[in-house]
Each structure stands twice: as structure tokens, then as C-alpha cells.
């Protein structure tokens, strides 16, 4: 690990709003960690957590958890949250495939998946965060009617996700193949991640799905 990356990782682990593979937090996020009963939103594969930060500022009466496996990625988001005194956002370092070990049934109201690795090779389809095995996890931890949002620049992942959620009997509530081509753009979709800005510079379209039960 490069010295700069290691320094960020070490600083992340020492921040008051960061947790690494915590024990016995399942079912305790609202009452014990956030100390309120506000709705809970997760951002999966968050990177620098641009979405969690923006949403936490927009909705102070909601709780947000940014999740990724690399602490050095989340370092920037966690540090910014401390600097801005955002008490309604936490940063959780875990493997997303272990989500059920950290969240109880019906504990989460909303999930954002922003520009995840599309894993284009067919043999790695099960790693996609909208594959059936992940959808089953979301189904368990989400309240009814819970919502999942996907933003991606990858048409193949977008199409795959539609097929997967239809096969798993989820409802497609919104489907857009070019969010910036819309005359009435949802303010929530105007939040841009680091990768989204790069994709837009390359002239790529940004796809969006919202689905739930």
C-alpha cells in the first residue's frame, strides 16, 4: 500500500464517524448509533461518498450510511462530514456481500448504488450489486415499500438490472436512459460523484433506475 494511501486509511480508522467491521450493530443503527428513529439510507460501493454527504445535508431528518470495502476511498467523505459537522452520516467499512451480518430485517428504508463496478464478463455476473443474490439481501433489510436507486454509465448493467429485478418480482418505479436529456430532472439525480463527472466529460449517457416492492 502506497504511503499516501496508507496515511488516508489510518486517518479514516481514527475518525469518530467511521466503523470497520463493527460487532453487534445489527438492529441498533437508529436507536444506539444515530440515537434517533429517523429513516435510514445506505449508499453502497460509495467511494468518496459524494451522495451520502449531499443527501445528509439535504435531509437532516434522515440517517445515512456510506459503505465501501476500502477505507482510503471513504477517507475524503468521512473527513468532510466531520468538517461540516454532519451528525446524520456514518462511514462503514465492510464487504457488501456480508450486508446481512450488519443490518436487521426491515431496518433500512432506502438504498443508493452509484456507479458500481459493472463486472461486464458474464462469469462475474454474480458480483454485480444488482444480481439476484444481492437483490435478495436488499429485500430482507428494506422496509416495505423500500426503494433502491441505481445510477450507472453502463448500458449493459442497466439492461441486466431490469431483467434481474423483473425476474425477482420487484417493481420498476422509474427508468431513465439519459437523465441529463430530461427537461424535468429530479434534484436528487443532479448530485454528481467523482466518476460521474469523468463519464460526463467522456460524453457518456447516465442511466437511472428506481425500484422497490
Q: What is the pLDDT of residue 74?
A: 86
d(CA 173, CA 177): 14
CATH number at residue 97: 3.40.50.150
2: confidence class by pLDDT, cuts 50, 70, 90: low
| Residue 70 within a domain | yes
Q: Which residues contact 196 (CB under 8 A, 6 or more apart)?
A: 114, 115, 151, 153, 206
Where do we find the cell 448509533? 33
E strand or H helix at 6 = helix 3-14
| Residue 158 within a domain | yes
| Residue 22 within a domain | no
d(CA 212, CA 199): 27
| Residue 194 within a domain | yes
Q: What is the pLDDT of residue 4?
A: 63
Identified catalytic residue from 117, 159, 174, 178: 117
| Residue 131 within a domain | yes
| Residue 118 within a domain | yes
Active site residue 178: no
Q: What is the pLDDT of residue 169?
A: 95
User: Are 193 and 114 contacting, i.e. CB atoms less than 8 angstroms apart?
Assistant: yes
The mean of the pLDDT values for the chain is: 93
Q: Which domain holds residue 140?
A: 3-16+28-212
Amino acid at each position: 500500500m502506497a504511503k499516501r494511501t496508507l496515511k488516508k486509511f489510518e486517518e479514516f480508522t481514527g475518525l469518530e464517524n467511521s466503523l470497520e467491521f463493527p460487532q453487534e450493530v445489527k438492529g441498533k443503527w437508529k436507536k444506539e448509533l444515530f440515537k434517533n428513529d429517523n429513516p435510514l439510507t445506505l449508499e453502497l460501493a460509495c467511494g468518496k461518498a459524494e451522495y451520502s454527504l449531499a443527501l445528509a445535508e439535504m435531509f437532516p431528518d434522515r440517517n445515512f450510511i456510506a459503505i465501501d470495502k476500502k477505507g482510503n476511498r471513504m477517507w475524503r467523505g468521512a473527513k468532510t462530514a466531520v468538517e461540516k459537522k454532519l451528525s446524520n452520516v456514518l462511514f462503514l467499512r465492510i464487504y457488501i456481500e456480508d450486508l446481512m451480518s450488519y443490518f436487521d430485517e426491515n431496518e433500512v428504508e432506502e438504498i443508493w448504488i452509484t456507479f458500481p463496478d459493472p463486472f461486464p464478463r458474464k462469469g462475474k455476473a454474480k458480483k454485480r450489486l444488482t444480481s439476484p443474490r444481492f437483490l435478495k439481501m436488499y429485500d430482507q433489510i428494506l422496509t416495505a415499500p423500500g426503494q433502491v436507486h441505481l445510477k450507472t454509465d453502463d448500458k449493459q448493467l442497466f439492461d441486466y438490472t431490469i431483467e434481474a429485478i423483473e425476474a425477482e418480482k420487484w417493481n420498476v418505479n422509474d427508468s431513465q436512459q439519459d437523465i441529463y436529456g430530461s427537461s424535468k430532472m429530479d434534484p436528487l439525480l443532479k448530485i454528481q460523484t467523482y466518476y460521474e463527472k469523468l463519464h460526463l466529460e467522456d460524453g457518456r449517457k447516465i442511466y437511472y433506475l428506481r425500484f422497490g416492492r
